[in-house]
Amino acid sequence: MMMQIPGVLTPDETAAIRDAMLAADWVDGNVTSGRQSALAKRNRQLPEDSAVVRDMGGHILDALGRTPLFVAAALPVKVFPPLFNRYGVGEGFGDHIDNAIRFRAGSDFRLRSDLSATLFLNDPDDYDGGELVAEGMPPVKLPAGHLVLYPATTVHRVTPVTRGERIASFFWIQSMVRDGAARALLLDLDRSIQDLGARTGQDDPAIVRLTGVYHNLLRRWAEL
């Protein structure tokens, strides 16, 4: 399942992050590629250990924590510190699957990549091409500040940019609930509880029982 999550960053936050990253020094995007991905990847990336990446990544992690739909959909136990890339004319990323385990250089931080995320940092009108295409799902190209979340197990690609430049942040999430079908069920239940609560009030006995079902399922499936 691919999920679009609007408004993770405000326009002002997006502009500030974009300006900071464009003023920084860039390297070949293959610095974080596995062997297979390196054959397909043509883009540029900010060094993972740079101060600007740490600062901007911290702002994005804070924004994710303030985004209820992201928390409900991903049920994150760990989020890889956000990275940043740009695709100019002729650059793209062919079909690949993200590495199952991600390591942060120079630390003991690691996670299982259950979900992949792309946070768009400029608007679709700024460039042609650059769509994110995941296997069995429609192409995605979102407004600045919007995020797309999708299973890291899927074959996906970024189509070549033919005009302008695509600027984004990308990262991976280890979920408390490893199984994608179980996560989808919990999200559907959570959203239904919220919808019913808005109509009947959160103290409705049925809402209380359904909330209990949600937490008991999460208790059964969660890995911490």
Main-chain dihedrals φ then ψ at residue 211, nearest 5 degrees: -65, -40
Range in 27-31, 87-91, 98-102, 107-111 the model is least confident about: 27-31
Mean pLDDT of the chain: 93
Helices (H), the chain: 11-22, 35-40, 51-65, 68-74, 180-200, 205-221
Query: Closest by alpha carbon to 61, among 101, 9, 104?
Result: 9
| Closest residue by Cα to residue 98 from 157, 55, 24, 140 | 157
Residue that the structure tokens 């033919």 belong to: 162
Helix (H) or strand (E) run with residue 167 in it? strand 166-175
Report pLDDT digits (tens) over 119-167.
Answer: 999 999 999 999 999 998 999 999 999 999 999 999 999 999 999 999 9
Within 10 Å of residue 192's Cβ, how many Cβ atoms? 12
- Report pLDDT digits (tens) over 20-48: 999 999 998 666 555 555 567 899 999 99
In the prediction, which pLDDT does 154 show? 95
State whether CATH 4.10.860 applies to domain 180-221: yes
Please tell me the predicted confidence (pLDDT) of residue 31.
Answer: 61
> Which residues make up the CATH 4.10.860 domain(s) of the chain?
180-221
Q: What is the pLDDT of residue 202?
A: 78
Q: CATH 2.60.120.620 region(s) of the chain?
A: 3-175
Q: What pLDDT does residue 156 have?
A: 96
For the domain spanning 3-175, the CATH number is 2.60.120.620
pLDDT above 60 (res 102): yes
Q: What is the pLDDT of residue 40?
A: 74
Token pair for 82: 């956000």
3-state secondary structure of 35: helix
| pLDDT (tens digit per residue) in 51-65 | 999 999 999 999 999
CA distance 31 to 113: 18
Scan for tokens 């596995």, then name that residue: 34
User: What per-residue confidence (pLDDT) applies to 32?
Assistant: 57
Token digits for 19? 């300006």
Q: What is the pLDDT of residue 36?
A: 54
